[in-house]
Structure 1
Amino acid sequence: MISKETIDKVFSVIRVEEIIGEYVQLKRAGSNFKGLSPFQDEKTPSFVVSPSKQIWKDFSTGKGGTAISFLMEIENFTYPEALRHAAKKYGIEIEETQAEQTEEQKAAQTEQDLLYKIHEVANNFFQEQMYDTEEGQNIGLAYFRERELREDIIRKFQLGYSPEQKNAFTAYALEKGYSKDILEKSGLSIFPENSSNGIDRFRERVIFPIHSFSGRVLGFGARILKNNVKTAKYLNSPETGIYHKSSVLYGLNQSKQSISRNNLCLLVEGYMDVIALHQAGIENVVSSSGTSLTTEQIKLIKRLTENVTILFDGDAAGIKASFRSIDMLLSEGMNIRVLLFPDGDDPDSFSRKHPQEFVENYIKNEATDFIDFKAEILLKEAGGDPIKKAEAIRDIVKSVAFVTNALKREVYLKEVSSKFGLSEQSLFNELGVQKQIAQQNQRSEAPKPQPKLEVVGETVFAVNPLIVLEEKLVELMLKYGDHVLTRSDHENQPYQITVIEEILAHFDEDGYEIQSPVNEKIISEIKSGIESDELRAGKFFLTLMDEEVSDRVADALLEPYENSDWSKHNIFFSKEQELVPKIIEDVIIRHKREFTVKMINDLKDTLKAEADNTETYMKILRLNQLKNEIDEALHRIL
């Protein structure tokens, strides 16, 4: 178990904006940062990060918390995994306390945990085989050196080698105690039917580990080196519980910071293209790993930038594939440029022939927008055939129809009009046709609505004002718990009390029971703090291993908007912290009223079951009188 000292050290140095900045493109908004939600599609940023409070809040989904809770949410980490990831990033040594695992804790080690672990074991095995065995050095390492890769680049991408022996890794993993079941589910081993003897999927290949956004190994790509073998040149891990190829981009873990810094992502086809560009000093590059680009992959890029340059080697298959990729990127609101390398070159060979500055300038200057790219390719195919030329223009307009921004669409159509000498009106008419076709296709592909099921009983949902006010009181404790209030007693003598003490005293009156389980947790912690002479307010709760609580704290401490500075216009507003005494007094009395109403309604429910209900009637009368007094205090007009 990770020691409390280590946890405190992690939280003392961790920077929420740095952690989240690796996943979301953040822009300064007053004292906070804002970005698009990584959990939900949105066009207007609602994801807020507060450096001063070290918390985040996604107002589109309601999620929020600390940097650790963000890692848990985005990477599906457990709490200890998130702490270890953050500690590694900030160079903090993990101190552990000895704790014997219970049977329940052992059983809680899920299949997913085992899949991550077996891939980590395999990754180390493949690297050791390449560096520490004669076969690995003569075949695997020799191949990478033949491709002119430096030692630091080979290690950066954790490249490896799987030996010729058909069950080398399988036997190694079984000896380590991993089961046949987990080896099969990981895709690392193949067990013929009714056989306990497995064989390695990637035997006799060089290995390219495929990492998650945070750097965990999810699967592998593997290249065969023999030319006389009738098998696929490249072999990838199958779909598993942790590896979904449509949701992963090769090189993103190594490239994410450069993509964000350059505000540009270079998209290439293969593993070696990514690695070669990194070696050339160009690090803002990823690959879809030999698969067609997917919406999930585009969203990964969009977290970091909206600008993409597609790099192709000019072969016919690649060019046709690029058309589909362009349309998908446009439909996700991305800004697209395309570059075709000279005949016979790809990003790998081109970057090895030329120095970094030349390659960077070539990409920058030679990349064209998608209209010029499609026009050059399609019109070359059309030649002098007017029908084919019309089809080519229609194909270009079809791509323009995928552009989500109306202003951009109009600019693109003007460009097409100018380039081909066509009237803008005819292009707008064609655009309308293409949009209608797209809408019809969407309707035909959309799942048919299912008939509504009849719901038995009442399904009326209403806001409970008692819980709303309870939430507000807990929020005030979290935000201003140690704030000292000056109050007057019954004899009009002044005394001082903290916000926490005043609200807790109110809750303890009349035997009020906390309605929300999360609030109950928070109040229980606050009371424990008071018993040990400690006032526990907002930041205390951020280090607790409880996602619900950290989410609640983020709700309390972070607002979706910041007020502009109106003082330069001689317009002044009171800030909430200046009105704390009045706000607390007001919320407490409103909460007291709603609790009184609840007690009246509860008593009314018992009337029918009582034979002699005189006493209950008297209680209801007294409570109604109290409610009227509270209403008068609140200046209600009844």
Structure 2
Amino acid sequence: MFPIRDSASRVVGFSGRILPENSTHPTSSEQVTEVAKYLNSPETAVFNKSRILFGFDLAKLAIKKFDYSVIVEGQMDIIMCHQAGFQNVVATSGTALTPEHLILLRRISNRVIMAFDADKAGFSAATKAWQLALSLGMEVKIAEFKEGKDPAEVLLSDNGKEKFKEALKNSMHIIDFYLSKILAEENQGNSLNQQKGVSLIFLKEVREKILPFLALIESSIEKSHWVKKISEKCGIDEKAIWEDLKKVKIEPGVAGVIVQKTLNSDKATLYPERKDSIERRIFGIINWQSKIIDIKNIKDRLKEIMVPEDFKKWEEASEAVLNKATFEAEQYYDQKKIQIILEELLRELEKEYLTKKLNEKLTLKEQDQIIKKLAKLK
């Protein structure tokens, strides 16, 4: 049984492995694969597996420190990674990688290494994940493990930690990864058939497997770099590559992600006013330290200070906005001084609202009352 936690380390669900009642204890990893199935808690208001990454609460600081995240598929993979000292690793919770998962990671680092299982199913899942990440403007690399092993199996093998570390070190950009695979197959085919020059199958592979990824890259400079590299490696004229690239149609699902990227851009988390910045810090602390602070008391005080529309905005804020606010609170504030910090922030927030109110049409008496309140807060 694995507890699933949100970004503030609060348990929001569980994932468990189910074994058939009458099965004997498996004696090999192959038997485990055959009989084991994982079941997640049903989705609730607080648990949405499309938005929660397993281990994110433990990995986020390491992701920020090393400026990249590593994504694996299963709970055992991530547990073995963290035990081996690879702290910037996260996993999906019984679902394919979603745009929400990637947006969550992108807020900390734009760089991601995919370390999915090396079997066909894992490769298929990874292909979709790569497309999503590229469409969100992320730098995507692939860590490949020899002999078709998954990360947990690699780490359990002899010198597993060094092998895993080497796989991360040698991870390749998605286009480089596919290019090397296709070139290796072409060279092998030419050797067997004693053929010179590129084959039509090779050209088709480049067009169907590499160009769709290239089409998802927004930067013209980056695209130009890859077109030149493909041309040099494959012996294809650059103009021909550009012409075929124009014909590539992005799948509707991926195109939808690009639209979603715009809707979920960092504009949603920009706070031009000082009061908004203070509110973000307060609600970040509430989300982070919910176990040790009196949330009801804090929220009652906020209701007295804030206008109803502003309070409602934060109560209904998206998980992405709250996650960012929580992460900032963890980064900037000392947990031991959290009560003192909250008092200071509440006082500053009240000053901001009172100062703003002074700009409204008020009677002299109302102005005098606000000025006196401000004097007490200073």
TM-score by length of 2: 0.60
Indicate if the aligned counterparts of 2:72 and 2:89 stay in contact, CA closer than 8 A. Answer: yes
Mapped to 2, the partners of 1:312 and 1:441 lie a distance apart of 20
Q: Which residue of 2 aligns with 1:236?
A: 40
Q: Secondary structure of 1:422's partner?
A: coil
Which residue identity is paired with 2:3? Answer: P
Q: Secondary structure of 2:53's partner?
A: coil
Offset of 1:247 from its aligned partner? 0.4
Identity %: 30
Mapped to 2, the partners of 1:554 and 1:371 lie a distance apart of 52
Indicate if the aligned counterparts of 1:312 and 1:341 stay in contact, CA closer than 8 A. Answer: no
- 1:543 corresponds, among 314, 339, 346, to 346
Q: Does 1:410 align with 2:214?
A: no
Which residue identity is paired with 1:409? Answer: K
Mapped to 2, the partners of 1:364 and 1:556 lie a distance apart of 53
Offset of 1:372 from its aligned partner? 2.3
Q: Does 1:280 align with 2:94?
A: no
Q: Secondary structure of 2:224's partner?
A: helix
Q: Secondary structure of 2:210's partner?
A: helix
Offset of 1:322 from its aligned partner? 1.3
Mapped to 2, the partners of 1:595 and 1:214 lie a distance apart of 42
Mapped to 1, the partners of 2:242 and 2:22 lie a distance apart of 55
Mapped to 2, the partners of 1:374 and 1:316 lie a distance apart of 15
Query: Which segments of structure 1 move beyond 6 Å, counting only runs of 4 or more?
Result: 517-521, 554-557
Offset of 1:281 from its aligned partner? 0.9
Q: Secondary structure of 1:358's partner?
A: helix
Offset of 1:551 from its aligned partner? 8.8
Q: Secondary structure of 1:234's partner?
A: strand
Q: Does 1:215 align with 2:9?
A: yes
Q: Secondary structure of 1:245's partner?
A: coil
User: Which structure shows the bigger proportion of residues in helix conformation?
Assistant: 2
Indicate if the aligned counterparts of 1:282 and 1:356 stay in contact, CA closer than 8 A. Answer: no
Offset of 1:324 from its aligned partner? 1.1
Q: Secondary structure of 1:312's partner?
A: coil
Q: Which residue of 1 aligns with 2:74?
A: 270
Offset of 1:426 from its aligned partner? 1.4
- Residues 270 and 520 of structure 1: is their aligned pair in 2 closer, same or farther, counting only changes over 3 Å? closer
Offset of 1:440 from its aligned partner? 11
Q: Which residue of 2 aligns with 1:391?
A: 204
Which residue identity is paired with 2:201? Answer: K
TM-score by length of 1: 0.37
Q: Secondary structure of 1:389's partner?
A: helix
Indicate if the aligned counterparts of 1:281 and 1:356 stay in contact, CA closer than 8 A. Answer: no
Which residue identity is paired with 1:217? Answer: V
Consecutive unaligned residues of structure 2, counting only runs of 5 or more, are 24-33, 191-197, 260-272, 276-303, 309-341, 364-378
Indicate if the aligned counterparts of 2:3 and 2:15 stay in contact, CA closer than 8 A. Answer: yes
- Residues 290 and 391 of structure 1: is their aligned pair in 2 closer, same or farther, counting only changes over 3 Å? farther
Mapped to 2, the partners of 1:416 and 1:313 lie a distance apart of 27
Which residue identity is paired with 1:432? Answer: K
Mapped to 1, the partners of 2:100 and 2:13 lie a distance apart of 17
Mapped to 1, the partners of 2:306 and 2:14 lie a distance apart of 45
Q: Which residue of 1 aligns with 2:245?
A: 431
- Residues 553 and 352 of structure 1: is their aligned pair in 2 closer, same or farther, counting only changes over 3 Å? farther
Indicate if the aligned counterparts of 1:414 and 1:424 stay in contact, CA closer than 8 A. Answer: yes
Mapped to 1, the partners of 2:238 and 2:128 lie a distance apart of 25
Which residue identity is paired with 2:91? Answer: S
- Residues 518 and 406 of structure 1: is their aligned pair in 2 closer, same or farther, counting only changes over 3 Å? farther
Consecutive unaligned residues of structure 1, counting only runs of 5 or more, are 1-206, 447-470, 475-516, 522-538, 558-587, 597-638
Q: Which residue of 1 aligns with 2:62?
A: 258
Q: 1:186-335 maps to which residues of 2 (within 5 A)?
A: 207-226=1-20, 233-335=37-139
Offset of 1:520 from its aligned partner? 9.2
Indicate if the aligned counterparts of 2:5 and 2:13 stay in contact, CA closer than 8 A. Answer: yes
Q: Which residue of 2 aligns with 1:340?
A: 144
Offset of 1:317 from its aligned partner? 1.4
- Residues 352 and 410 of structure 1: is their aligned pair in 2 closer, same or farther, counting only changes over 3 Å? same
Q: Deviations over 1:379-432 (max 9, x none)?
A: 667756944322321221110111122222221222222221111111112222
Instruction: Count matched residues.
Output: 267
- Residues 259 and 413 of structure 1: is their aligned pair in 2 closer, same or farther, counting only changes over 3 Å? same
Indicate if the aligned counterparts of 1:313 and 1:342 stay in contact, CA closer than 8 A. Answer: no
Indicate if the aligned counterparts of 1:379 and 1:392 stay in contact, CA closer than 8 A. Answer: no
Q: Which residue of 2 aligns with 1:420?
A: 234
Specify which structure has the bigger relative contact order, considering alpha-carbon pairs within 8 angstroms and separated by 6 or more residues.
2
Q: Which residue of 2 aligns with 1:131?
A: none
Q: Does 1:358 align with 2:162?
A: yes
Which residue identity is paired with 1:215? Answer: S
- Residues 340 and 228 of structure 1: is their aligned pair in 2 closer, same or farther, counting only changes over 3 Å? farther
Q: Which residue of 2 aligns with 1:151?
A: none
Which residue identity is paired with 2:352? Answer: V
- Residues 221 and 518 of structure 1: is their aligned pair in 2 closer, same or farther, counting only changes over 3 Å? closer
Indicate if the aligned counterparts of 2:143 and 2:168 stay in contact, CA closer than 8 A. Answer: no
Aligned-residue Cα RMSD (Å) equals 3.9
Indicate if the aligned counterparts of 2:13 and 2:41 stay in contact, CA closer than 8 A. Answer: yes
Mapped to 2, the partners of 1:358 and 1:429 lie a distance apart of 43
Q: Deviations over 1:260-289 (max 9, x none)?
A: 111111111110000001111111101113
Q: Secondary structure of 1:543's partner?
A: helix
Q: Deviations over 1:128-162 (max 9, x none)?
A: xxxxxxxxxxxxxxxxxxxxxxxxxxxxxxxxxxx
Q: 1:487-506 maps to which residues of 2 (within 5 A)?
A: none
Q: Secondary structure of 2:115's partner?
A: strand
Mapped to 1, the partners of 2:96 and 2:133 lie a distance apart of 12
Q: Deviations over 1:92-148 (max 9, x none)?
A: xxxxxxxxxxxxxxxxxxxxxxxxxxxxxxxxxxxxxxxxxxxxxxxxxxxxxxxxx
Which residue identity is paired with 1:302? Answer: R
Which residue identity is paired with 2:107? Answer: R
Mapped to 1, the partners of 2:206 and 2:2 lie a distance apart of 41
Indicate if the aligned counterparts of 1:332 and 1:404 stay in contact, CA closer than 8 A. Answer: no
Indicate if the aligned counterparts of 1:371 and 1:416 stay in contact, CA closer than 8 A. Answer: no
